[in-house]
Amino acid sequence: MIFVTVGTLYPFDRLVGAVDDAVANGLITEEVFAQIGVGAQKPKYIESVESLDKLTFDKVITESSCMISHAGMGSIQAALSKNKPLLVMPRLYKYSENINDHQVATAEKFEELGHLLAVYHQDQIPQRLEDIKTFVPAQRYTQVDKVVERISEFLNCLDSK
């Protein structure tokens, strides 16, 4: 089962519609289950709910073969913590899907590090659906010392002003 999630804050009709179309056109033959938020796009070909509680969300991830998501950090972290292949499509400001294009930078960086695959337009989804079948995400290691160092540098910068 492929798990599609758009997060909990905003709908993401462009992604939900693209996945629904991929199922309708036979590009996805595996079962798809989606958490779609409160958007206007109600899928015709995939089972969906508006939201899931945390326990159910985690259970669905565990049972899924892979995930398709927006490029939100919560969804990325959830996939990485369960070592699930993840295909992301960033929300874009030009479509009023977000307040800016920070998800593009997030997708680019995490893809560069080998943690996920990304698409930036619906036309790229068919090829990436093939790629996700054999994609193995790179292990992510936390670097607490580097985070503390960066925060300390920032705070010291403020202190010197």
Q: Are 64 and 31 in contact (CB under 8 A)?
A: no
Specify the pTM. Answer: 0.87
Confidence of residue 8 (pLDDT cuts 50, 70, 90): confident
Distance CA(36)–CA(105), nearest Å, equals: 23
Work out how many domains the chain is built from and give that number. 1
Residue range 133-144: average pLDDT? 86
For position 20, which CATH number holds?
3.40.50.2000
Sheet holding 66-69, edge to edge: 47-49, 32-35, 2-5, 66-69, 86-88, 117-118
More reliable by pLDDT, 43 or 159: 43
Q: Convert the pLDDT of each residue in 67-125 to its tens digit.
A: 999 999 999 999 999 999 999 999 999 988 888 999 999 999 999 999 999 999 888 98
Give φ, ψ of 47 to 5 degrees: -75, 140
Can you say whether the dihedral through the CA atoms of 106, 110, 115, 119 is positive or negative?
positive
Domain that holds residue 86: 2-159
